[in-house]
Amino acid sequence: MNTDTPAHGPLAGIKVIELSGIGPAPLCCTLLSDMGADVLRIDRNAPSGLGSPRTPRTDLLRRGRPSVSIDMKHPNGIATLLRLVEQADVIIDPFRPGVTERLGLGPAECMARNPRLVYGRMTGWGQEGPLSQAAGHDLNYLALTGVLHAIGPKEHPVPPLNVVADMGGGAMFLAVGVLAAVIEAKRSGLGQVVDTAMTEGSAYLATGAFGAAAAGDWLQERASNITDGGAHFYRCYKTSDGKFVSIASIEAKFYAILLDKLGLNPADLPAQMDRPTWPEMALKFAALFAQKTRDQWCDIMEGTDICFAPVLTFDEAFEHPHNRDRGSFVEIDGVKQPVPAPRFSRTPSGINSPPPGMGADTASGLAAWGLGKDEIATLMAEKAIGWQG
């Protein structure tokens, strides 16, 4: 793991300005940084009021890049940002539509300084539309796509953490979008705006499910389909020690192994895809899984083609033999965290540094992007830069 040397991943040489936000935009910039991009995080020079602050070392969405504090309401703060924009490949805007325009930092102002700039915008609802100015969070964006309706028991939908809309439909689509635009800008010499909406990214993730629904193969009632917990062969079961295991034996050949390991004779059972019998079969499976501990079922099923895995806590995932063998997690400054993904054979990604304090790198970060020592001192004295919280 690369924690103390300059970034050398596949994005080395790409320069990114990150306007600080929460959730998906920071995760996108963490990904870009881990892959070697030179990301400069701009933290506003006053507390954001987002609740109790986490200690920097555990705020993992800030890892791997310096934090520079700039007052975006100070004219010389905006002037400093525009100077940085002149040498950037990408700027990431996490604000509601129109905020950067009001600051004098919108696409028009930035691209006038740098025509090849890729202006990545991250919002829940998108830059236009009736809801574009409304507040929202992951759950709301997921709700509007139809995806949330399909997640949970029959009684009610369940929030699937904030990894689907925020991180999947938001951060990952923003990363793909800006990188695609950077590639195109290398050919054309012209940048563009990348409008990433978590609603649209979430819907895109469910493209296959939309196709199944259109074909009549997806029932609109929760817990009634193969992959939503309706099938007895694709769900989680409680073990005798109060823990859980996951079963995903969709294919017939995998289901046959599952029945064998459970001690069941296929001749005595209904057909796997006989949907009306799924609830009864789920009760039968539940009774069997409740007879042994999670570790005992791991001894029986792990490593087979059942499509099985124990349901682990975050701490347990760090210690699992497969994850330890691959080095899927690392501990830095006492904080357990995932390593960069995906993996590259020739230009490996790396975590360049632990999360910095707010504005901790203001002077050094700006100097690395070409500002002089005296100029930085003047801006500090004017309180145009430097953490004031």
CA atoms within 13 A on the CB side of 40: 26
Phi, psi of 114 (to 5 degrees): -150, 90
d(Cα 116, Cα 191) in Å, to the nearest integer?
Answer: 4
Based on the residue annotation, tell me whether 232 is a catalytic residue of this protein. Answer: no
d(Cα 318, Cα 336) in Å, to the nearest integer?
Answer: 7
Marked catalytic residue, from 8, 74, 137, 320: 137
Q: Which residues pair with 118 in a beta bridge?
A: 90, 192
d(Cα 22, Cα 206) in Å, to the nearest integer?
Answer: 24
Phi, psi of 177 (to 5 degrees): -65, -45
d(Cα 187, Cα 118) in Å, to the nearest integer?
Answer: 13
Marked catalytic residue, from 166, 228, 232, 361: 166
Q: Which residues pair with 41 in a beta bridge?
A: 18, 67
184 by Cβ neighbours in 10 Å (0-12 / 13-18 / 19+) ranks as middle
H helices present in the chain, as ranges: 24-34, 75-85, 99-103, 107-113, 138-145, 173-188, 198-205, 207-214, 252-262, 278-289, 294-301, 314-319, 321-326, 362-368, 373-381
CA nearest 352: which of 58, 39, 24? 39
d(Cα 233, Cα 56) in Å, to the nearest integer?
Answer: 43
Rg (CA), the chain: 25
d(Cα 90, Cα 80) in Å, to the nearest integer?
Answer: 16
5, 88, 93, 278 from 15: Cα distances, Å: 17, 5, 15, 53
Give 341-349 contacts, CB < 8 A, sequence gap 24+. 344/9, 344/10, 347/8, 347/9, 347/10, 347/12, 347/36, 348/2, 348/8, 348/9, 349/2, 349/9, 349/10, 349/34, 349/35, 349/36
Based on the residue annotation, tell me whether 71 is a catalytic residue of this protein. Answer: no
Active-site amino acid positions: 137, 166
